[in-house]
């Protein structure tokens, strides 16, 4: 099984899960680095992947997405225009992004795309079973039983990660994975800045999707002369046509990003032992790296 890791999801969970008192020998916060590699160890032990790629946020807020919906992720933009990140995380992300290649763990990213799109692309390229490790709900759209694609959802933390197949997605949201995006754009997603359709909450979104089969079907039903839809709903959906079209493009992951070939094989030895030793010492994460190494070897 190929494990595709939404690396930012994992280091954010690690950052918030570990106390700020965890410090490097030099006194910098280091919980995210330690928790990230401990997380990889836990996930490797639990799922025994045969391949692994850490997918990076080459562009956390691509302009082609904000051109469609200006509010997309706008709440997470800092004053200087970059992503608003919590104190002491950026330096740790730097360390993680240097440690991964030094350890020989494959990474993948593209300067115009989010990790979501990189994950979708790598999943599309393989016939192997895929487990997507993420805390990003958007990726539920990739769950596919026939192709053995699951999401390992990190919402409740790394050790309590939940495995989602199509049945689990349907049980949680009321819609199947292929309609997850329809559901999300109708209901809206405040954390991503998607307003949703006026008067349509989660319950109504589920009913609409399961009755009419996706945004296209819902819009057709709202526009039809004879419709069983309440007048107010027909009007709201009619008026939201432009939004829905744009939001679908924003929320649907791109699965044909131009990425170089990625060798997802698990490392058997560090690619750059000197760099690993230097960073491990600087950040005080020798034991976490050893646990990760042991988990891969098991």
Q: Please report, as ranges, the residues that interact with Mn ion according to CB under 5 A.
A: 116, 136, 138
β-strands 2-6, 162-164: how paired?
unpaired
Q: How far is the CB of 262 from Mn ion (least distance, A)?
A: 18
∠ CA(76), CA(80), CA(84), 5° rounding?
A: 30
Kindly tell me which of 184 and 237 has the beta carbon lying closer to Mn ion: 184
Distance of CA 103 to the CA centre of its chain: 23
Q: How far is the CB of 204 from Mn ion (least distance, A)?
A: 23
Residues 193 and 69: their CA atoms lie apart, in Å, by 8
Q: Name 189's bridge partners.
A: 194
Q: Are 183 and 170 in contact (CB under 8 A)?
A: no
Q: How far is the CB of 197 from Mn ion (least distance, A)?
A: 20
Q: How far is the CB of 119 from Mn ion (least distance, A)?
A: 8
Kindly tell me which of 113 and 292 has the beta carbon lying closer to Mn ion: 113
Q: How far is the CB of 114 from Mn ion (least distance, A)?
A: 5
Q: How far is the CB of 8 from Mn ion (least distance, A)?
A: 7
Token representation of residue 224: 């039809």
Kindly tell me which of 7 and 206 has the beta carbon lying closer to Mn ion: 7
Q: Are 181 and 250 in contact (CB under 8 A)?
A: no
Kindly tell me which of 190 and 199 has the beta carbon lying closer to Mn ion: 190
Kindly tell me which of 132 and 288 has the beta carbon lying closer to Mn ion: 132
**Which residue is associated with the tokens 């969970």?**
13
Kindly tell me which of 51 and 62 has the beta carbon lying closer to Mn ion: 62
Residues 123 and 84: their CA atoms lie apart, in Å, by 29
Residues 31 and 66: their CA atoms lie apart, in Å, by 32
């Amino acid at each position: 099984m190929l494990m595709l890791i939404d690396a930012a999801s994992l280091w954010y969970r690690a950052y918030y899960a570990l106390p700020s008192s965890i410090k490097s020998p030099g006194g910098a916060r280091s919980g995210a680095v330690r928790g990230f590699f401990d997380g990889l160890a836990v996930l490797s032990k639990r799922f025994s992947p045969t391949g692994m790629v850490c997918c990076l946020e080459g562009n956390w807020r691509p302009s082609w997405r904000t051109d469609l919906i200006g509010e997309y992720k706008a709440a997470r933009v800092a004053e200087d225009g970059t992503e608003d990140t919590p104190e002491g995380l950026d330096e740790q992300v730097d360390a993680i992004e240097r440690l991964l290649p030094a350890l020989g763990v494959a990474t993948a990213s593209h300067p115009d795309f989010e990790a979501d799109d990189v994950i979708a692309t790598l999943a599309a390229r393989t016939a192997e079973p895929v487990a997507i490790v993420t805390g990003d709900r958007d990726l539920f759209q990739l769950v596919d039983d026939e192709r053995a694609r699951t999401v390992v959802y990190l919402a409740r933390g790394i050790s309590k990660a939940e495995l989602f197949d199509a049945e689990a997605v349907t049980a949680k949201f009321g819609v199947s994975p292929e309609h997850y995006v329809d559901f999300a754009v109708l209901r809206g997603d405040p954390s991503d800045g998607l307003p949703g359709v006026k008067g349509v909450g989660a319950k109504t979104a589920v009913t609409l999707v399961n009755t009419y089969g996706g945004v296209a079907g819902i819009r057709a039903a709202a526009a039809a002369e004879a419709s069983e839809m309440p007048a107010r709903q027909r009007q709201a959906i009619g008026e939201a046509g432009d939004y829905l079209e744009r939001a679908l493009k924003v929320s649907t992951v791109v699965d044909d990003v131009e990425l170089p070939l990625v060798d997802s094989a698990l490392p058997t030895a560090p690619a750059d032992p000197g760099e690993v030793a230097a960073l491990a010492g600087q950040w005080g994460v020798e034991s976490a790296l050893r646990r990760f190494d042991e988990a891969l070897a098991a």
